[in-house]
A and B are shown apart, each in its own frame.
Chain A
């Protein structure tokens, strides 16, 4: 018998633009987010450069306002959320649950293209007029602000928000319906656990943001008065809507990051994850409590002070599930056989070592009495950067290095990897720790010009920011170069036991030749690592 096999036609257009393969979509999310990471980072460096001197010699106040607005908006909406949920989530969830793709592959592609367009709309404001009202864009200032900046910003939020909602539905259905036989929720990899909670948070929170920015847009152009006090509107309403999204968004930006840590630490400690259930269910607790703390951003915004007390208590309580995770990760390291590989360095020293500073400063500013002083000062800027940079970005780096051999089939350059880790770790402390000092001393945020007494620590921060900029270039170079020229990696170079490592590197289009049957929890006990390339026994 003769079978005629027609080779599938291939082209860039077919392979990438029309693809509905979750792995390719994940890679496209990742590459796009890293591109925006460079742009957002460039804005950060421009901001820091302006702050070298107290009298603003570099750019005008207006330009500075646009720079920090672009920095934060790009980092939140076009980098951290999409790289965690879009890149890591899309690439890993179907593989980790032993599925061939997401539940709705075409909708998945749509999510990516909406995100890309949304990101580009924000990016394009560089040429048409940038938004200048901060990533929070509070009215009435954001209504008054002239030019197309805020409108482009709103359009961008609409697009990436829709992308988020579609993506979250896709994850919920995929995780609920498409797990391999035997893969119960109690055997689900912890990254996938965190993605499920994150998806629910995105689904419930994002509509509030859409409402906030849509009403902002109609107030700007169609004479509605949602936020005009003299006509009976109320600017505080926007803040409630905005933070009802944006506080959960902080957890949307950290839960998948926690998930990455839970994958990396047991593999490199060669020890079962300590307290699997505690880690999984504490994510659920965070997801739930995350919706009851939003007003801690508004203690001084005009609410009755004592109305802040329940929010203060809930904000303190939400530190509990997070500290439970930290203790379990520490306990996983205890009695382990820890290999100092790049992903582990980012996860353990980089993430745990830095993130807890953001956690502890969060406890301080959750207290109404302290927030009355520290609100809207650099102390808040220090806090959010320890959470999002010391937290989320460190985890992103851990994840990029950890799954790089899976995605590309090649190994990154180890020396450059370690160099980038130390630059990131030291750069983070130099950049963000001094912000606590000037914040305590009363330096308000969003100041292009500031009192001379604050200059010293601002200069230190700026030096740290340049170090982080250099480190980022090294990371990008390492990944790009190694993807083409790196040493070939084995299918499972780390000896991990989650399902994505049980197929080839890179995985075939259909992920698994045979759908695996799961019989146990994926976190060890582990075999001896001997003979596995990529691990260097000391």
Chain B
């Protein structure tokens, strides 16, 4: 069923993010099951009865305290460390990136290409090339979010935020939603753009066509 789980991943980076998600989800699910099973077991097993009127007189156990402090601490820090590489990978776009400027407006996305062409909401990117979005806003804060690539950055007036996307050639022809996810007023829920993945040739043609349209 659509709308129930992670949407198909568009990029290699998105698949890495999903791997991180599944690893962390597995770890917390193990702990979740342990806690719920212990909870329900104890509630049933130690229910008050004629024979069982008071609990055992135990006040604590220092060894146990150390164990259940250290184990979660180590696992949590490892989970954090596991994601550090990915953070730097997202932060450092390849030098040869194709730079596209994104500006949030009330209430549409304006996307500007290096040749000066500007389009609103519905834009295209070439597959196989790292495309770097330079994101800012004209008015209030917006959120530039592409669920299919598992990335977002706020569009903040006076700031430039960035992320890059390298679409797989196998996804050519796909169109993906680009919702604004930082509340920006009445047009917030309808501020949904779309990103079309094209082959380099089709993209060049599309860009040329947009240029002619605007003249």
Contacts and interface: CB of A to CB of B under 8 A. Distances in A.
Contacts of A422: none
Given A335-B58, A438-B3, A363 B158 contact: no
Contacts of A61: 186-189
Given A62-B186, A302-B156, A360-B28, A444 B48 contact: no
A187 interface: no
Interface residues of B, number: 87
Interface of A: 56, 61-62, 65, 132-134, 138, 140-141, 144-145, 229-230, 233-236, 269-278, 300-302, 304-306, 308-309, 312-313, 316-317, 319-320, 323-324, 326-328, 330-331, 333-340, 348-349, 352-353, 356-357, 360, 363-364, 366-370, 372-373, 375-377, 437-438, 440-451, 453-457, 524-530, 537-538
A403 to B, nearest CB: 21
Contacts of B163: 372
B158 A235 contact: yes
A441 B141 contact: no
Interface string B1-32: 11111110000000011001100110011011
B185 to A, nearest CB: 6
Closest 10 CB pairs of A and B: A229-B158, A271-B55, A442-B147, A444-B181, A336-B55, A453-B3, A453-B2, A373-B150, A229-B157, A360-B28
- Interface residues of chain B: helix, strand, loop or mixed (majority): mixed
B161 interface: yes
Interface string B84-117: 1011101100000000000000000000000000
Contact of A538 (B36, B47, B86, B156): B47
A269 B87 contact: no
Contacts of B83: 312, 367-370
Contact of B43 (A65, A274, A349, A450): A349
Contact of B17 (A56, A276, A373): A373
A236 B38 CA distance: 44
11 contacts: A61-B186, A61-B187, A138-B141, A277-B60, A302-B156, A353-B39, A369-B20, A375-B181, A442-B177, A449-B190, A537-B48
A302 B87 contact: no
B15 to A, nearest CB: 12
A538 B140 CA distance: 61
Contacts of B182: 138, 376
Given A364-B25, A376-B181, A437-B5, A317 B46 contact: no
Nearest to A229: B158
Given A317-B73, A368-B87, A437-B5, 8 more contacts: A271-B56, A271-B58, A300-B161, A305-B88, A320-B73, A326-B35, A330-B35, A442-B7
Interface of B: 1-7, 16-17, 20-21, 24-25, 28-29, 31-32, 35-36, 38-40, 42-43, 46-50, 52-61, 64-65, 68-69, 72-73, 76-77, 79-80, 83-84, 86-88, 90-91, 139-141, 143, 145, 147-148, 150-154, 156-159, 161, 163, 177, 179-190
A528 B147 CA distance: 58
Nearest to A320: B73
Contacts of B5: 437, 440-441
Given A138-B141, A352-B39, A364-B28, A276 B152 contact: no
B47 A306 contact: no
Nearest to B42: A333
Given A141-B183, A306-B91, A441-B147, A324 B42 contact: no
Nearest to B192: A451
A360 B32 contact: yes
Contact of B39 (A133, A234, A320, A348): A348
Nearest to B154: A301
Contact of B88 (A134, A140, A306, A333): A306
B59 A274 contact: yes
Which one of B73, B139, B179, B181 has the greatest number of beta carbons of chain A within 10 Å? B181
Contacts of A339: 48
Given A333-B39, A335-B46, A353-B36, A370 B154 contact: no
Contacts of B141: 138, 140-141, 235, 301
B183 A134 contact: yes
Contact of B57 (A306, A366, A372, A524): A524
Q: Which of B58, B90, B159, B183 has the most CB of A within 10 A?
A: B183
B35 A367 contact: no
Nearest to B54: A270
A144 B140 contact: yes
Among A302, A333, A449: residue with most chain B CB under 10 A: A302
B189 A272 contact: no
Contacts of B88: 305-306
Contact of A278 (B65, B184, B187): B65
Nearest to B14: A373
Contacts of B189: 56, 61, 444, 446-450
A357 B35 CA distance: 10
Nearest to A345: B43
A53 to B, nearest CB: 13
Contact of B28 (A270, A275, A363): A363
B90 A330 contact: no
A269 B58 CA distance: 12
Given A352-B35, A372-B17, A538 B49 contact: yes
B69 to A, nearest CB: 6
A272 B59 CA distance: 6
Contacts of A328: 60, 65
A525 B42 CA distance: 19
A18 to B, nearest CB: 43
Given A274-B59, A333-B42, A450-B189, A301 B87 contact: no
A457 B179 CA distance: 19
A536 B184 CA distance: 55
B20 A338 contact: no
Given A338-B46, A349-B43, A305 B80 contact: no
A373 B15 CA distance: 12
A363 B54 CA distance: 37
A74 B68 CA distance: 37
